[in-house]
Amino acid sequence: MSPETLVLVGGVIFATLAIGVVMGLSALGRSEKRQARIAGVVSPYLQNVTVRAVRPSLSQTFARSPLMPKVAALFGIVPELRHHYPLPWWLVLVLSLVAARLGLGMVAVIAGEAIVVATPVAWLFIARIMFARFHGQHRRRLFIQLPDALGLVIRATRIGIPATEAMRTVAKEAPMPTAEEFRKIADRLSIGMPFDRALEETALKNGVPEYRFFSTAMSLQAQTGGGLSETLENLADVVRKRVALRARGLALASEARTSAAILAGLPFGAGGLIALLNPSYAAVLINDESGQRILALAIGMLLFGILSMQGIIKKSLS
């Protein structure tokens, strides 16, 4: 099979997958928003209205199909966290596609045009990295906001408010996304779920270790007895110290992160200056085939160095 045929087949598969994901997730989002608007308008009049079953549209049927969660998981999308992403999910898919195509385009200068067939695989890989970064930012916000949320629970329990109502108080007063997590806890407690189990399910879903500490502390307090406010106060103090320790680590690593940013931007600055002072000298990297290979190899090594420095800094802070 010729390289042109491989590129064509890969492009068809990639386009089909992209269109399916975009249509499915868009239909899912529109369906959820439409149902929320209908519920808000119709709910006051449900007592006097006879509700008739309506056949779902094709987009709704596609969005509710069991295939969509698998496709979302393939790209690393968590539907429950879509509204917490700093960018729309579809824009992330587009940007990751552009990055994958540009990256493989540079590799194709060295390895040949047949490597373009791997565009769908590179697309999935980059998209999963981007969504994993968003999920990590979400967990960090939960971690940083947890001590203040525990402080609200402590103050509520000290004045005699039950634990369930204390959770609802946090859900109303705390900033997002902590308010949403405590609202889920309060909802589980309202249906009769034990305190430790409700917290454990929340901790397992959001992936924040400190929520597991919260669940363990509440479980031990339920078994051994004692003051709930004292237990939570000790836990809040431990979590607050962990937050301060992480902030101190970021401050100590600021010099390394600044050095990494300078080293990453220095080749682009030097290249732009050379192109400005002597365009014919820099044009060799663009017009000549050997120059294109050297440029692609240099960009690849630069990206590898940036990722290596980020990995070292991240590991030192973990």
Is the per-residue pLDDT at 6 higher than 50? Answer: no
CA dist 159 and 170 (Å) reads: 15
CB 253 within 8 A of CB 314: no
CA-angle at 244, arms to 242 and 249, nearest 5°: 95
Mean pLDDT within 277-302: 81
Written as six digits, the tokens of 102 are: 């540009």
CA dist 280 and 291 (Å) reads 12
pLDDT category at 46 given cuts 50, 70, 90 is very low
Q: In the predicted model, is pLDDT for residue 7 greater than 70?
A: no
- Widest pairwise Cα distance in the chain: 80
Cβ(193)–Cβ(174) under 8 Å? no
CA distance 72 to 22: 10
Six token digits for residue 30: 């529109």
Q: Of the CATH numbers 1.20.120, 1.20.81, 1.10.260, 2.50.20, which one belongs to the domain with range 138-251?
A: 1.20.81
Query: In whole numbers, what is the pLDDT of the chain averaged over residues?
Result: 76
Segment 41-68 shows an average pLDDT of 51
- For the entire predicted model, the pTM comes to 0.68
Residue 76 pLDDT > 50: yes
If you average pLDDT over residues 85-92, what whole number do you get? 86
Q: Is the pLDDT of residue 164 over 80?
A: no
CATH 1.20.81-classified regions of the chain: 138-251
Check residue 21 and give its pLDDT: 52
Ramachandran sector of residue 146 (left: φ over 0; alpha: ψ -120 to 50; beta: rest): alpha
Please give the pLDDT value at position 20.
Answer: 54
Return the closest-CA partner of residue 22 out of 60, 72, 95, 61.
Answer: 72
Q: Report how far Cα 121 is from the mean position of its chain's Cα atoms.
A: 19
Q: How confident is the model at residue 190 (pLDDT cuts 50, 70, 90)?
A: confident
Give the Cα separation of 148 and 299 in Å (integer). 44
CA distance 137 to 177: 11
Higher pLDDT, 114 or 138: 138
DSSP code at position 45: G
Cα three-residue angle 39-42-45, rounded to 5 degrees: 140
Residue pLDDT, tens place only, 27-38? 555 555 555 555
CA-wise closest residue to 150 among 26, 237, 271: 237
Is pLDDT at 256 greater than 50 in this prediction?
Answer: yes
The two three-digit tokens of residue 62, written as one number: 């596609």
Give the C-alpha separation, 309 to 288, whole Å: 31
Query: pLDDT, tens digit, for every residue of 197-228?
Result: 888 888 888 888 888 888 887 777 777 766 77
pLDDT at 277 over 50: yes
